[in-house]
Structure formats: structure tokens, C-alpha cells
Amino acid sequence: MTRYGRAEAREWARAEMKGVCNVIIPSYTADLRGLNEAGIRHDVRRDIELGFKGALMVSETALSADEYVQMVEWAADEAAGRLVLFFHAAFNTLEENIAVAKRAEEAGAEMVLLSYPPSFYPTSLRQVYDYTEAFCAETGMGVMLFPVPLWGFERLHPASIPVEMLEEMVETIPNVVAIKAEGGMPAIAGFTETWNRLSDRVVVTMPLEQQAIPLATVLPLQLIATSNTECLGGAVPAMLDLCHQGRHAEAMELYWRVDPGRRANDRIGVAGTNSVHRMAWKYQAWLTGFNGGPLRMPTQRLVAPQMAGYRAAAREAGVLTATEPDEAFFVGRNPA
């Protein structure tokens, strides 16, 4: 259950959502037939240890609705209020997303990252609004909107969801509390326009730390959410905290120090699939102390040259904690 009522969601988010929220990718048993409770709890503890404010509980790795709710229950129990857990509304249909959201909220999720299903092919921006409104009406959780090129809405508007529609959503949907503003990427025009129009009403976040930290030296950016910022260990929470203290030079010193890890992460990309390489993200997290372990099909593959590059970059950035050989990643730190 949330720590706020639906009517207070926006006020709560503006007051409480300050820091960095990363992602937690499910951990599975060795035979991939079930979830790995010890691995999931390990990742929650590691998040807290590294100073993260919250985590997106990733749903895009071929797990069932029942498994997803179980993962949220374990994570919420382990976190004991120390992390804000995001429901990842990335299931197959609007109806399924609504149904799982209700169960995830009961299990301990407190915010939503709203995605749009691959089969959702709107022919007008109004259909995007209608989907968003229909989902938000059925949950008591605060919802983070997510304009981003992944959905393919650029055929309707180059910003994915134009700022005028984002503004309408903010005005008419009371539990819209934040915007993950990646519209028009790789340019930051979607972020800056959203910031200028809406940051006085909802939390506007830039999830990509390579842009968010420099922006935080000139703007009062309170939140970085959600992305695989754990690939840099605890550096991103530390940098944002330094920015919040006005210690911008120190933040930027750390920013440049971890640049090799950032550049390696940038090479992952989404070209050709319009989806996140979750296996690469999970491997990068393993390099910085997270559980690792196998993922179910369908999943992207990792090969030795890729892993060698990510490992070398993490070492050069000073965030590598893994001493095990790469084959240990496919087992995980808490095998089950």
C-alpha cells in the first residue's frame, strides 16, 4: 500500500521523491522455472547500500503476473520502507496492466512507470491520452509519464507525446505526479520544454545521468529516475547528492572519473529492437555487486568481447567490485 492517498500523490512525490531510482531486474532459479528470492532480496539490499531512493521492478523479462507480484512482495519486505518501488506497467494490454497494478500496489509498490504495449498502435495522440487516462483512473499510485522514442509515437509528434498533451494530462489526471522526459531523444528538447512548462506542478526527471548531472548543476533537479544507474555503482546517487548540497565542482569531478563506465553503457543502445538490453544491464549491475544470474528467453545475448569491454570500463571507472570470472555471472551470487 502507498504511504499517501490518491489525492495527495502529487504533493507526496514532490516532497519525497528526491534522489536516484534505478532498476531491479528479476533473478531466477538456475532452471529458470521460478524466481530466486535470495537474489531479489540481495539486489534490494545492494540498492539501499549504494544510496538509491527507489527502484523500478522490471517486468519485461518473461515473468508471469503472479511472479511479478511475488517479486514486489519480497522486495517490499526486504526494503521495509527504505526504497520506493515502481510498478513497471509493461504487460501485454491495458487491461492486464491495470489488473497487475492493483495487485502490485497491495504487494508494496508505490509508484508507476507507465509504458505502452508493443501491440498498441495509436493513430492519433488522443488515443495515447485515452490509454493513459484509463490506466491512471484504475490505480491509487502516483504515475510517472514516459514520453520516449521507444513507443514509436514520433509518427504522431516528434516529441513522442507533445508538451501540450503532457500538460493536459497533468491538468486532468490527478495522480500523474512525474514525467520521465525523454521525448525527442537524443536531443534534450523534450526535457527542457517539459521542465519549463510543468516542473512547477509535477516532478520532471531526466533519467540519463550523463545529462542529468550536468543539468543538476544549473537546475534544481530533484530526481533521476529510472534507468540502470547501478552500472556506475553508487556514483550517481553520490553525484546528485553533491549537486543538492551545491558542491557542483565535486559532483563534476566524480562525473568525469566514472566516464569510462558511462561510455561503455552508451554503447549498448536499442537500435533495431526498440527495447532495452536487459541482459547487458544485469551484467553491468553484477559487476558492481548485484546478484546477476540467468534470464529467460526471449532475451538478448552477451558474448565475451562485450563482457570484457564492460568489465574493463567498470575497472577504469573505479566501480568494479566483481572478482569472479564471467561464467559466474550466469550463475548469480545467490544461486537457487
Q: What's the whole-number mean pLDDT along residues 266-272?
A: 80
Q: According to the model, what pLDDT value does residue 271 have?
A: 62
**Residue corresponding to grid cell 504522431:** 156
Q: Rounded mean pLDDT of the chain?
A: 97
Look at residue 21 and give its three-state secondary structure.
strand
Q: What's the whole-number mean pLDDT along residues 117-123?
A: 97
Supply the CATH number for residue 211's domain: 3.20.20.70
| CA distances for 196 relative to 68, 125, 191, 258, angstroms | 36, 22, 9, 30
Range of the domain at 93: 6-246
Q: Which residues contact 306 (CB under 8 A, 6 or more apart)?
A: 280
**287: confidence class by pLDDT, cuts 50, 70, 90:** very high
**Is the distance from CB of 43 to CB of 291 less than 8 angstroms?**
yes
In a domain, 118, yes or no: yes
Number of domains in the chain: 1
In a domain, 285, yes or no: no
Q: Which three cell numbers stand for residue 133?
A: 487516462
Using one digit for the tens of pLDDT, what is the confidence trace for 303-330? 999 999 999 999 999 999 999 999 999 9
Identify the CA nearest to 143 among candidates 108, 170, 183, 103.
170
DSSP label at residue 37: H
Q: How many angstroms separate the CA atoms of 214 and 206, rounded?
A: 11
In a domain, 284, yes or no: no
Q: According to the model, what pLDDT value does residue 239 have?
A: 98
Tell whether omega for the bond before 158 is within 30 degrees of 0, i.e. cis.
no
Q: How many angstroms separate the CA atoms of 30 and 336, rounded?
A: 6
Using one digit for the tens of pLDDT, what is the confidence trace for 209-250? 999 999 999 999 999 999 999 999 999 999 999 999 999 999
Burial class (CB in 10 A: 0-12, 13-18, 19+), 271: exposed
Q: According to the model, what pLDDT value does residue 274 have?
A: 84
Q: According to the model, what pLDDT value does residue 273 have?
A: 80
In a domain, 283, yes or no: no
Q: According to the model, what pLDDT value does residue 275 have?
A: 87
Identify the CA nearest to 177 among candidates 118, 136, 211.
136
**37: confidence class by pLDDT, cuts 50, 70, 90:** very high
Please report, to the nearest 10 degrees, the dihedral formed by the alpha carbons of residues 66, 69, 74, 79 taken in order: 170
Give exposure, 118-143, as e/b (b: 16+ Cβ within 10 Å). eebebeebeebbebbeebbeebbbbb
Using one digit for the tens of pLDDT, what is the confidence trace for 198-212? 999 999 999 999 999
Q: What's the whole-number mean pLDDT along residues 165-183?
A: 98
Strand partners, 54: 21, 84
In a domain, 240, yes or no: yes
Amino acid code (one letter) for 18: K
Q: Which three cell numbers stand for residue 83?
A: 526504497
State yes or no: pLDDT of 270 exceeds 90.
no
**Is the distance from CB of 175 to CB of 140 less than 8 angstroms?**
yes
In a domain, 302, yes or no: no
In a domain, 235, yes or no: yes
Neighbours of 144 (CB within 10 A): 27
Q: Which three cell numbers stand for residue 300?
A: 538478448
Q: According to the model, what pLDDT value does residue 269 have?
A: 80
Query: φ and ψ at 203, to 5 degrees?
Result: -75, 125
Q: What's the whole-number mean pLDDT along residues 113-139?
A: 98
State yes or no: pLDDT of 272 exceeds 80.
no
Q: How many angstroms separate the CA atoms of 67 and 203, rounded?
A: 30
**Is the distance from CB of 140 to CB of 35 less than 8 angstroms?**
no
Identify the CA nearest to 281 among candidates 271, 273, 293, 298.
293
State yes or no: pLDDT of 119 exceeds 80.
yes
Q: What is the pTM of this model?
A: 0.97
- Distance between terminal CA atoms of the chain? 29
State yes or no: pLDDT of 1 exceeds 90.
no
In a domain, 233, yes or no: yes
Identify the CA nearest to 240 among candidates 206, 264, 278.
206
Q: How many angstroms separate the CA atoms of 124 and 127, rounded?
A: 6
